[in-house]
Amino acid sequence: MMANLPTVLSLRHLFVLSLALNVSLILRMVYDEQGGNNNKKSMEVYNHNILKSRLVIPSTSFANSTRKDHSGVVDRVIKLDHGDPTMYERFWRQMGDRSTIVIPGWASMSYFSDGSSICWFLEPEFAKEVVRLHNVVGNAVTQGRHVVVGTGSSQLILAALYALSSPDALEPITVLSAVPYYSSYPSMVDYQKSGLYKWGGDAESFDKEVPYIELVTSPNNPDGYSRQTVVNRNQGLLIHDLAYYWPQYTPIVSASDYDLTLFTLSKSTGHAGMRIGWALVKDREVAKKMTKFIELNTIGVSKDSQLRAAKVLKTISDSSQDEESFFKYSYKIMEQRWKLLRAVVESGDLFSLPKFTSAFCTFFNQELEPQPAFAWLKCEGDIEDCESFLRGHKILTRGGRAFGDSPKYVRLSLLDTDENFMLLLDRLSTIQH
C-alpha cells in the first residue's frame, strides 16, 4: 500500500492523509449498530488520532477500497449537489419495528380526513404528532396556529405565495430573499409565469414602496447562518422557511413565533421520499387559501404518507430523552462531520468555510455552535469558478451563481452516506497538496 503513496509528501499532507484514512474507522465506531454507548470512546480515539499526526493506515475495508485501481471507487463521481439525507438511514434501521406501520388495503380510501378542519385532508394523527414534536423540541409556537400539510415544503411555498397574493392587484407582487438565497426560489416563483407573483431577487437591494413577500430561510440554505427579515417595510408579507431549525443543525434559542412558518420531514427526520411538509399558519383565511391551492393542485396529500410520518414523529418524541434519541444521534454525526471537514479545509489555504457563533440551545441545555446540513465552501486565490474546479476532481456541487452569489462559492451536502463523505475528505485533502 505504501507504494501507492506519492514519493514526496509534506508533513501537512501526511497529517491530512492520515486523517482522511483513519476517519472511516472513527465514523464506524460512532455509528456502530450494535449499541449507542461507544460515542465517548470513539471521540477519544478521534482526538488521539488527530494528536498523533502519523501516517497510520487502518486495515478497514473502506481504507483499502480508496486505493483501488482506476476502475474502483476512487474514480467514482460523488454527487453532493443535492441535499439527499441518506445519512439518516442507519438510525432508522436501528429503530426496527418502532417506526413501522401496517396499513390495511381498505384503509385511507376516502379523499377526506377531517371534514371539520380547515385543511380537510390533514390526518388528525399527523397533526397531533406535529404539535407534540414542536413542543418537545421547543422550536415553534403551535398554540393559535392552523396546521396545513403539503407534499413537501416545496408545495407549501407555492401555496403560501398563492395565499398571500391578491388576485385584484394591478401587477404581480414581488417575491424577495436575501443573497445567498435557496437556489430553487427563483425558478419556483417564475416557473408558471403567474400573474399573482414574480421573482424580485435580492432582498437587500429592494427599495420600493410597494407590496412584497419576503422569504426568510433560517438557518439559511446554503450558508447556515440564522436570519431575520431584511426589508422591513410597511407593505411586506413574510414566509419563514424553517426547514433546518432543528437541534442537529443549529442551537434552538427560542420557539419561532411567526405568522407563517414552513417545516419539512426531509431535513427534520431524513424522510425525503415521504414528501411531507407542514405549515404553521396564524391567520385562518391564509390557511384556507393555502388549503385551496393544494386542493386545486393535487386534491390533497397522501394519507398513507401522513400516517407513516405520524409514526416517525411519534418515535422521535417518545425517545427524545433516551441516551440514543434521534436528535442526540444526529447531532453527534453532524458534529463529527463538521470537525473532520474543518480539519481538512484548515490544513491548506485553497478553501475556506463560514465561521459560526455559538448560542445556548434550550433543547440540549448547553452552549453549542451551528453545524449546518450544507457546507458553504469558498475557493480562495485564483479559482474563480469553484463548481467547475471541483467537478474536475469528480465532486459535484451547486455553484454560488445558483444562490445569487459569487461563483467562488459552492454548496456541499453533508447529509450523504458515510462513504461519500469519506471520499469528499480524501479528495479535498488531495487537491490541496
Question: Strand, helix or coil at 244?
Answer: coil
Q: Which residue has the cell 454560488?
A: 400
Assess contact for 341 and 414: CB atoms under 8 A: yes
* C-alpha of 135 from chain center: 21
Closest CA to 25 of 422, 296, 430: 422
Question: Strand, helix or coil at 39?
Answer: helix
Cell triple for 399: 455553484
Note the pLDDT tens digit of each residue in 41-96. 444 444 434 333 322 223 233 333 344 433 455 679 999 999 999 999 999 999 98
The pLDDT, as a whole number, for residue 116 is 85
- Average of per-residue pLDDT across 283-310: 97
- Average of per-residue pLDDT across 417-422: 96
DSSP assignment of 325-347 equals -HHHHHHHHHHHHHHHHHHHHHT
Dihedrals phi, psi of 361, to nearest 5 degrees: -95, 120
Q: Which residue has the cell 509528501?
A: 9
Cell triple for 142: 403551535
Confidence of residue 365 (pLDDT cuts 50, 70, 90): very high
For the chain, the structural domain boundaries read 2-94+323-432, 108-318
The pLDDT, as a whole number, for residue 30 is 43
The pLDDT, as a whole number, for residue 324 is 80
Question: Strand, helix or coil at 396?
Answer: strand
pTM confidence score: 0.86
- Average of per-residue pLDDT across 408-419: 97
Of the listed ranges 48-57, 259-268, 397-406, the least confidently predicted one is: 48-57
- CA–CA separation, 427 vs 170, rounded Å? 53
The pLDDT, as a whole number, for residue 15 is 53
Confidence of residue 19 (pLDDT cuts 50, 70, 90): low
Cell triple for 4: 501507492
- Average of per-residue pLDDT across 135-145: 97
Q: How many Å is the maximal CA-CA distance in the chain?
A: 74
Burial class (CB in 10 A: 0-12, 13-18, 19+), 399: buried
The pLDDT, as a whole number, for residue 340 is 97
- CA–CA separation, 98 vs 312, rounded Å? 9
Q: Which residue has the cell 485501481?
A: 69
Cis peptide before 219 (omega within 30 of 0): yes
Residue 396 has pLDDT above 80, yes or no: yes
Note the pLDDT tens digit of each residue in 179-206. 999 999 999 999 989 999 999 999 999 9
Of the listed ranges 7-21, 96-110, 141-155, the least confidently predicted one is: 7-21
Fold topology of 108-318: Aspartate Aminotransferase; domain 2 (3.40.640)
- Angle at CA 365, nearest 5°, toward 360 and 366? 50
- Separation in Å, CA 400 to CA 202, 219, 243, 280: 14, 17, 20, 31
Cell triple for 90: 442507519
| Contacts (Cβ under 8 Å, ≥6 apart) of 426 | 20, 21, 66
- Separation in Å, CA 393 to CA 197, 308, 409, 411, 418: 40, 40, 16, 15, 19
Mean pLDDT of the chain: 87
| Contacts (Cβ under 8 Å, ≥6 apart) of 284 | 118, 146
| Contacts (Cβ under 8 Å, ≥6 apart) of 90 | 31, 33
Q: Do domains 2-94+323-432 and 108-318 have the same CATH topology?
A: no
- CA–CA separation, 73 vs 204, rounded Å? 44
Question: Strand, helix or coil at 126?
Answer: helix
Closest CA to 278 of 297, 261, 293: 261
Return the beta strands (E) in 108-211 as ranges: 146-150, 173-177, 197-202
In the chain, the amino acid numbered 221 is N
Q: Among 3.90.1150.10, 3.40.50.300, 3.50.50.60, 3.40.50.2020, what is the CATH number of 2-94+323-432?
A: 3.90.1150.10
In the chain, the amino acid numbered 112 is F
